[in-house]
Structure 1
């Protein structure tokens, strides 16, 4: 694809993005940045949340996974729906009752300062690494399509990319993100739907013919009940999906900032139920697109190396009009930059509120501190991306994703204990428990096939991680420390 066309497409998208961000974020104060002043309409947040759950990596990877796992990913997505219901009816009312800015403030109220800081730091490490890796992979695509043809260095690529993310989030925070995520959702849905249309038309398939071709392809199997040792086994995927959604959405400051921007918990619940159902059908579209891409590549004799290369390889090929490549670029850019923007906003919020602290500070002092933190988050993200580039190893990327998934287990375990158990615990020992739980999970994962007759752990490792943390907290039950961790029964009881 012509680099000029890619550049014009990106420039046009960001022009619209900045306009939306400016209009939505003007006159935003700290409350607007952190919680959107809790005035967001639930249906707007629901539409925005569809796109916010899809990153640039998902946009590229999900279509390619049908060759190895068919439609098995939908087993996990069904778990996502159940997880959203738990978030909507268990966590959301609790967070609204406590009027939280950062959801990790709950840990301070329930256990004490050590738990509070532990949860915030686990989130910080996970989100910074995860967001940086996702943006790094997009920078690689931009380097190939735009910067390299013009002879521009990767460092400039990273600087421009992070600067753009910082610019459209520094003013309005969550207040802006709700509307920029809505733009992202629109771009994602339109780009995927039109790509499906163009590819199906090129294959000479009507709608009915397309559905039949997908069903007959051998890549449309959804449910896997035959091998309990397989990572595709239904109950592994389903329960892992439910707990992953609870941990990585309900206990993630990035995702919950949007949900907590609704007027009240009832509106937030409407938003989450609507977005969960919608997400199922959006993922289904991605999987359908994947089958069509493989059918097209097979017919044209296109050699596909890694599965992640399938969508960009076909979309930017000479077989389609330029509009297909443009749609791919718009979908990729909108998903990647929006995810990075929301992560930067959440990191700024969590670091400002949870780690530095805003209690006892004036509005002006918090504004000044928040802006400095925002610059710091952008700088650190840029440095992390460039380090990934210097290491230039996909094994490092895989390790980062594994580490990111491990960090949510202790958070899930702490929240589960806090909500369902009433006893106080020895707060100062909680950091030790949360460090030992991932270590135990790592040992199990490395030895599971030898110890358990070929059993392979998949995403259910998150559940074990949380369980180990929960058991560890049970062992720490004791007298309250300095009055910390005392909560009224109305908060503990759901």
Structure 2
């Protein structure tokens, strides 16, 4: 696939995307940017959220992890679905009742200003790092397909990629994202389904033969109950999935910003449950694709890339299939990646403007709009710089990097919300930032020494639960005698 063809594919895709963004966002005010004026239809939001949840990391990393992890990721995805049901019936009614623009305003109402800012800053760090890791993956693929053949530096690649994200989100915010993400979801699902079709056809399988081959493959083992010390152990993955999705979706301004754009809490609940169920089937498609890719590589004696993240790009764009497969790969990748990056950039802008600068509480509409635009540009620049830094430091699978980051940065947020919702205790608010900083440090120390201290036990994504628990205990130590009145 030539660099020019890749650029033409991206240009055609973004021409449609910009058209949708302009039509839906041209009359958006600040509330349209922040909450979509709470007029979004639940089924549109549910469909749109698939692309944001999947991201370019899933698109590339999940097929590649099949060789070492089999279908064990599905255990975590089942936990995701349960977690989204808990979000629907615990968090959504609470946030709607309080009529929040930013969900971290809950922490101010419950504990005080220091807790509020702590939650907002931890979200800022979490989302910036997570979004940058996801967008970094797109930059790597574009560098391979476009910028390297044109002898262009990686920094130009980053500027180009981040600028596109800024361009289609700067006007309409959430109001535009609901519709642009719906387009991305459609492109994402169609591309992965057609890639499965073309690869199966090349291998000589019809649908039933392909299904039987995947079912019988050693790579498709999904459930692991044998060794509790193993990172793939079912209950470790399942419960980690529940708490991960509560932390990274239910307590994440990015995803909840879309949910809070629904007309009422009942619609938001329908959206959350529906998107959770759909995600199981979408992830299963990517796992099936992984088996097909490794099977194809084995039958054709291909030298498999060292990093699993490189497998799908290597085969899809390597000229082994009709050109349409390479085009579908590019469309699917940019659909997934730009959906996650666009919604993250909008959420970061919202949280920084509302929570950290508190512009909506002290400024008029015009001043808020001006501040929001400046913050939006600033967030884009910071994201670009973080991507460049990640490129210098990267040494692990991208999807593992995302979840490791989430375990350490979302843990304090999860612990604070659990303490606030399930207890009526008040805390010494000014010391909450100290607890939020110490918890990840203690979690890291325990995680690093767990094999020696706990008879070979190894933490996986369940380190998030440990991190949140440490935060919860820390808040208990800060308890004041006064309790919250019912």
TM range (shorter): over 0.9
Higher mean C-alpha displacement, 452-461 vs 132-141: 132-141
Aligned pair in 2 of structure 1 residues 259, 399: CA closer, same or farther (>3 Å)? Answer: closer
Corresponding position of 1:244: 244
Aligned pair in 2 of structure 1 residues 309, 243: CA closer, same or farther (>3 Å)? Answer: same
Secondary structure at the aligned position of 1:347 is classed as: helix
Corresponding position of 1:443: 445
* Offset, 1:399: 6.5
Output one character per residue of 1:189-229: Cα deviation in whole Å (capped at 9) or x when no partner. 00000000001111111111001111111111111101010
Corresponding position of 1:367: 369
Q: Write the distance in 2 (CA, Å) between the matches of 1:385 and 1:407.
A: 18
Is the Cα–Cα contact under 8 Å of residues 141 and 313 in structure 2 kept in the other structure?
Answer: no
Corresponding position of 2:314: 313
Aligned pair in 2 of structure 1 residues 121, 61: CA closer, same or farther (>3 Å)? Answer: same
* Offset, 1:407: 0.9
Is the Cα–Cα contact under 8 Å of residues 77 and 280 in structure 2 kept in the other structure?
Answer: yes
- 1:45-444 alignment runs, 5 A limit: 45-305=45-305, 306-357=307-358, 358-389=360-391, 391-394=392-395, 402-444=404-446
Higher mean C-alpha displacement, 216-225 vs 186-195: 216-225
Corresponding position of 1:476: 478
In structure 1, stretches of 5+ residues that fail to align are 481-485, 490-494
Is the Cα–Cα contact under 8 Å of residues 120 and 350 in structure 1 kept in the other structure?
Answer: yes
Alignment length, in residue pairs? 483
Higher mean C-alpha displacement, 368-377 vs 130-139: 130-139
Is the Cα–Cα contact under 8 Å of residues 109 and 487 in structure 1 kept in the other structure?
Answer: no
Is the Cα–Cα contact under 8 Å of residues 428 and 478 in structure 2 kept in the other structure?
Answer: yes
* Offset, 1:22: 0.8
Output one character per residue of 1:114-146: Cα deviation in whole Å (capped at 9) or x when no partner. 000000000101111111122122112112211
Secondary structure at the aligned position of 2:318 is classed as: coil
Q: Write the distance in 1 (CA, Å) between the matches of 2:17 and 2:485.
A: 44
In structure 2, stretches of 5+ residues that fail to align are none
Aligned pair in 2 of structure 1 residues 404, 241: CA closer, same or farther (>3 Å)? Answer: closer
Q: Write the distance in 2 (CA, Å) between the matches of 1:402 and 1:246.
A: 16
Secondary structure at the aligned position of 2:278 is classed as: helix
Q: Write the distance in 1 (CA, Å) between the matches of 2:148 and 2:332.
A: 21
Aligned pair in 2 of structure 1 residues 121, 396: CA closer, same or farther (>3 Å)? Answer: farther
Is the Cα–Cα contact under 8 Å of residues 114 and 432 in structure 2 kept in the other structure?
Answer: yes
Corresponding position of 1:483: none
* Offset, 1:71: 1.1
Is the Cα–Cα contact under 8 Å of residues 124 and 351 in structure 2 kept in the other structure?
Answer: yes
Is the Cα–Cα contact under 8 Å of residues 425 and 484 in structure 2 kept in the other structure?
Answer: no
Q: Write the distance in 1 (CA, Å) between the matches of 2:231 and 2:381.
A: 38
Output one character per residue of 1:407-452: Cα deviation in whole Å (capped at 9) or x when no partner. 1011000000100101211101111111111111111111111111
Secondary structure at the aligned position of 2:218 is classed as: coil
Secondary structure at the aligned position of 1:424 is classed as: strand
Output one character per residue of 1:47-66: Cα deviation in whole Å (capped at 9) or x when no partner. 01111101111110101111
Q: Write the distance in 2 (CA, Å) between the matches of 1:246 and 1:222.
A: 23
Q: Write the distance in 1 (CA, Å) between the matches of 2:211 and 2:67.
A: 17
Higher mean C-alpha displacement, 113-122 vs 155-164: 155-164
Q: Write the distance in 2 (CA, Å) between the matches of 1:307 and 1:154.
A: 21
* Offset, 1:395: 5.7
Secondary structure at the aligned position of 1:68 is classed as: helix
Q: Write the distance in 2 (CA, Å) between the matches of 1:209 and 1:137.
A: 33
* Offset, 1:401: 5.6
* Offset, 1:386: 2.3
Give the structure-1-normalised TM-score.
Answer: 0.95
Is the Cα–Cα contact under 8 Å of residues 414 and 468 in structure 2 kept in the other structure?
Answer: yes
Is the Cα–Cα contact under 8 Å of residues 426 and 479 in structure 1 kept in the other structure?
Answer: no
The alignment yields a C-alpha RMSD, in angstroms, of 1.5
User: Is 1:37 the equivalent of 2:41?
Assistant: no
Give the structure-2-normalised TM-score.
Answer: 0.97
* Offset, 1:404: 3.7
Corresponding position of 1:459: 461
Is the Cα–Cα contact under 8 Å of residues 424 and 484 in structure 2 kept in the other structure?
Answer: no
* Offset, 1:387: 2.8
* Offset, 1:334: 1.1
Is the Cα–Cα contact under 8 Å of residues 317 and 326 in structure 2 kept in the other structure?
Answer: yes
Q: Write the distance in 1 (CA, Å) between the matches of 2:372 and 2:11.
A: 28
Higher mean C-alpha displacement, 391-400 vs 287-296: 391-400
